[in-house]
Structure 1
Amino acid sequence: MSPRPAESDGADLVERTALAIRDLLIDGRLRPGQQLVEPALAAALGVSRNTLRESFRILMHEGLLLRHPNRGVFVHAPDVAEILDIYRVRRIIEEQAVRGAAPKHPGLAAVRAAVGQAVRLRDAGDWNGVGTENMRFHAALVALADSPRLAELFARLQAELRLAFVTLDSPEYLHDPFVDENRRIVALLDDGRMGEAADALDAYFTRSERTVLAAIERGRATRPR
């Protein structure tokens, strides 16, 4: 579990609890279709069930959770149309953040750190960890725009994207090719070649989108009818 929300009152605690659950989604520790058991999750996060329910409402509004009458709250599973839309929005946000970033931006340290950790986890065969560092890499790219509102919007988008990723059978197939792609983008950024880095990111998205959709189609083809 992620760290418990900091002690607070009212709406602030509800927002912090929603953020903690969103972090669990981004880290791949909550899976599409998984039912969220209120007593266990409230205890793990150190909040009341009323606070948890209010945070569920926020995340249901964001499309990350679903409530099924008489059954409970479940993690949403994105469909193909949603995945395509996620990539469309990622191009707008990430490429512009990179293209407009100042050379030698101090936020590049976080970009480098995420890639370095991903390389170490890849060598250790921890593919879920590689996926988490990939999320951090892209969040660090968005942070180069110096916009808290954009970073908040992107966190929701990342949670949706991770839900799409964890439905796939082979995280190695999904993440392995992109570790070195991330290193190449970092090298361009370190050289101050922001436009080229944004162009490389666009090609990256095209390849990543095709990889995800191909994996989904392959999973459908092998699923028992």
Structure 2
Amino acid sequence: MNVVEPGQSQSSGPLPGVVDSAANGTHAHTGSAVAQKLRAAIMDGRLRPGAKLSEQSLGEALGVSRNTLREAFAALGAERIITRIPNRGVFVAKPSFADVQEMYRIRRVLEPAALLQDRRPGDGQPLAEAVRQGLAARDRLEVAGMAAANQRFHALVVALAQSSRLDALMAHIQAEMRLVFHAMADEPSFHAPFSTQNAQIFSLWNEGQGALAAAELGHYLEAAQTQVLAAMPAERAGS
């Protein structure tokens, strides 16, 4: 993960979204509940990559002890969506080029293999709906809709393997990928090709051409890695 530079996207006061839910009487009293609130705020973009998470401010806003908050930080740290920097504090993670390369390396092993699994009745319907949603969002030039449909499509591809452990692994990778996209410009032209390619891969798989769909997905992920890395902000020396 990149190191956050001093003064960069830091927030030591009350945090939008996280505080709102606390003010509405939905205080979190366990580490897992606090982790869920912070995870949602990070994934929704309310807490941006590089934002500092103040233990004092968050503890007061959520009405929890520092020990409870640290339990939440430990859970989110294991998911690699926050990072603790010695002598500086806890920050929302900023995935580096190397992190992105590893994410795609895992995905190139995981996703094409899932397309080769035996199909079950009903497997195609959720995938078809995710494709439909992505294409509809593409036609509206709606970045958030394209991104959400794309995440859902790839999660459903991995779900074809029928493994809760692989599903959990993919969820963690997608959470990190969301951090990457939050740090990039929201340009419809960047996201639109993914919706189109998802539709093409689904069409091949749905026609019983699983091996060809898997090969196409492998090429897609290689190209996507190149595109994402090219669009990421340049890394500073020593970060």
Please name the residue that 2:184 is paired with.
168
Pick the aligned partner of 1:74 from 70, 73, 91. Answer: 91
Q: CA RMSD in A?
A: 3.0
Paired with 2:71 and 2:192, the residues of 1 have a C-alpha distance of 38
Instruction: Return closer, same or farther for 1:30/1:141 CA change in 2, 3 Å cut-off.
Output: farther
Please name the residue that 1:87 is paired with.
104
Matched AA of 1:85: E
Please name the residue that 2:215 is paired with.
199
Pick the aligned partner of 1:142 from 148, 154, 158. Answer: 158
**Percentage of pairs with the same residue:** 37
Paired with 1:90 and 1:199, the residues of 2 have a C-alpha distance of 13
Tell whether 2:177 aligns with 1:152.
Answer: no
Name the count of aligned residue pairs.
211
Bigger radius of gyration, 1 or 2?
Answer: 2
Please name the residue that 2:126 is paired with.
110
Paired with 1:187 and 1:111, the residues of 2 have a C-alpha distance of 10
Q: TM-score, normalised by structure 1?
A: 0.79
Paired with 2:36 and 2:152, the residues of 1 have a C-alpha distance of 15
SS in 1 for 2:234: helix
Please name the residue that 2:6 is paired with.
none
SS in 2 for 1:188: helix
Which range moved further: 79-88 or 18-27? 18-27
Instruction: Return closer, same or farther for 1:24/1:95 CA change in 2, 3 Å cut-off.
Output: farther
Tell whether 2:229 aligns with 1:213.
Answer: yes
Deviation at 1:133, TM superposition (A): 1.6
Which range moved further: 20-29 or 195-204? 20-29
SS in 2 for 1:31: coil
Instruction: Return closer, same or farther for 1:23/1:157 CA change in 2, 3 Å cut-off.
Output: farther
Tell whether 2:139 aligns with 1:126.
Answer: no
Matched AA of 1:200: E
Q: Does the CA contact (< 8 Å) of 1:26 and 1:135 recur in 2?
A: no
Paired with 1:108 and 1:16, the residues of 2 have a C-alpha distance of 34
Matched AA of 2:35: A
Paired with 1:47 and 1:108, the residues of 2 have a C-alpha distance of 45
Please name the residue that 2:114 is paired with.
97
SS in 2 for 1:220: coil
Unmatched tracts of structure 1, length 5 or more:
none
Q: TM-score, normalised by structure 2?
A: 0.74
Deviation at 1:149, TM superposition (A): 1.0
Instruction: Return closer, same or farther for 1:104/1:196 CA change in 2, 3 Å cut-off.
Output: farther
